[in-house]
């Protein structure tokens, strides 16, 4: 299983969370990564934790004010999120961003709301997709228990390309949620507030991987 912690734009200590994630990954043997804000990419990467950019733009270097070229983050990031429900893209822009990430050597994870969208983005050839019903994001109610058919449907929708991993997001916060996602066929989880807003992020991370 893969555990990716998205720090969004939360007011949290990104470097401290990254250190904790690196330690938990080393101690458990579970793959754990952190997606910090762009300004925190360098110090987070310096902790040794696997690091994802929260977004890259479907552009090359040039006249693109406000954009984030994949090459601009590639010195620090191992991968990137795309099309999170808080940073939605058109299919054309997802395709363009995937191409940019590929040129920069970044692993790609594309988010989608439901199995139908999972099928559409899987056809574009990312490394992984994550199903995240927006209504459950940040609620603490995991999709794996609120609507397990969504996870099963996403796994089935991605079967058109067996090389694409399927992750489960929205409401993930405990080790039990991670195990439930795995039982439904997911090979990873994407979460945010369960770690970023935790009183003890390291303890939250340890709980997430405790059953793996």
Catalytic positions: 84, 132
3-state helix/strand/coil string of the chain: CEEEEECCCCCCCHHHHHHHHHHHHHHHCCEEEEECCHHHHHHHHCCCCEEEECCCCCCCCCCCCCCCCHHHHCCCCCEEEECCCCCCCCHHHHHHHHHHHHHHCCEEEEEECCHHHHHHHHCCCCCEEEECCHHHCCCCCCHHHHCHHHHHHHHHHHHHCCCCEEEEECCCCCHHHHHHHHHCCCCEEEECHHHHCCCCHHHHHHHHHCCC
């Amino acid at each position: 299983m893969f555990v990716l912690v998205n720090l969004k734009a939360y007011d949290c200590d990104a470097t401290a969370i990254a250190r904790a994630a690196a330690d938990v990954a080393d101690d458990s043997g579970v793959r754990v990564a952190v997606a910090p804000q762009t300004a925190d990419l360098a110090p987070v990467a310096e902790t040794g934790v696997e690091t994802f950019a929260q977004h890259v733009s479907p552009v090359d270097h040039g006249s693109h004010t406000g954009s984030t070229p994949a090459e601009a983050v590639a010195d620090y990031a191992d991968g990137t999120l795309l099309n999170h429900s808080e940073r939605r893209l058109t299919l054309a822009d997802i395709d363009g961003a995937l191409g940019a990430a590929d040129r920069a050597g970044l692993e790609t994870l594309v988010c989608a709301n439901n199995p139908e969208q999972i099928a559409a983005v899987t056809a574009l050839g990312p490394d992984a997709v994550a199903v995240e019903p927006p209504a459950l994001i940040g609620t603490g109610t995991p999709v794996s228990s609120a609507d397990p058919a969504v996870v099963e449907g996403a796994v089935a929708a991605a079967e058109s390309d067996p090389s694409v991993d399927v992750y489960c997001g929205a409401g993930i916060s405990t080790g039990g949620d991670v195990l439930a996602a795995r039982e439904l066929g997911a090979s990873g989880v994407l979460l945010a507030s369960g770690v970023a807003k935790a009183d003890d992020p390291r303890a939250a991370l340890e709980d997430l991987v405790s059953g793996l």
